[in-house]
Amino acid sequence: MTNEELKKLPLVEKITEKGGMKLDVYNNTYDAFQSLKLVAKDMTENLKKKVAKNDKRIFFNYSDKGEFETELKFGGDMLMLTMHTNVFEFPREHEIMKLSYIKQDITRSYCGIINMYNFLADSLKYNRVNDVGYLVARIFINREDHYFVEGKRQIGLMYNNFAKSKIDRNAIKKILETAINYCVDFDLLTPVYDSIKVVSVSEMLENSMNLNLRTGKRLGFRFQVDDDDSE
């Protein structure tokens, strides 16, 4: 169905068509997120056992925060996974909208989103509420269970065949492995001197472990989708 055909439908049919389609997208995304949580839990346990053979000090933890959020902690990093409860369509200028797969049926462009954020584990441990995390990747899933990943470096490059790729446990495992690998390679850099040279008395008095000074892996440096290596 083209976009014009969808717009010309009588009101009741339009509501039924769009409403049903969005429910399909939501259900597919929800099911994928529940699978993602199971894969993340298994992966955390497996990595914990393997890494412990080399160094038992390295910390691993999986924490289910509810239907739409879960966390993986590994070493000094944390990967926060969240599912948005709404369904989205892409802007007209987005590359996805140029695919013949989408042009043949515009309803395929409506997607649910799973976000993957990288935080420092200490940010949560010490309640440093001003620390920042970075969006490593986001997974888009449509009503046909097709998916693609928009993300940093190799993550976005490896999973972008929207017309053919279907989300399943194996795909989820590969995406998660790639995201974890990216987080491990994405190091904490010393912030620019000028960005932290001034501190207020109240900030210093509040708590030495909870300063209102933001910490992030690239805080004070440029952070762009395709230009990490130059930072």
211 in any annotated domain: no
216 in any annotated domain: no
**Three-state secondary structure readout of 40-106:** HHHHHHHHHHHHHCCCCCCCEEEEECCCCEEEEEECCEEEEEEECCCCECCCCCCHHHHCHHHHHCH
pLDDT digits (tens, 9 = 90+) for 120-131: 877 777 777 777
For position 164, what pLDDT does the model report? 92
Domain span holding position 47: 3-187
100 in any annotated domain: yes
Give the predicted TM-score (pTM) of the model.
Answer: 0.80
What is each CA distance from 227 to 218, 224, 231, in whole angstroms? 12, 5, 7
Among 19-23, 30-34, 128-132, 182-186, which is the least confidently predicted range?
128-132
63 in any annotated domain: yes
196 in any annotated domain: no
75 in any annotated domain: yes
pLDDT digits (tens, 9 = 90+) for 35-71: 999 999 999 999 888 888 888 888 889 999 999 999 9
- Number of domains, the chain: 1
11 in any annotated domain: yes
The rounded percent of the chain whose pLDDT value lies above 70 is 77
20 in any annotated domain: yes
Pairwise CA distance, residues 152 & 179, whole Å = 9
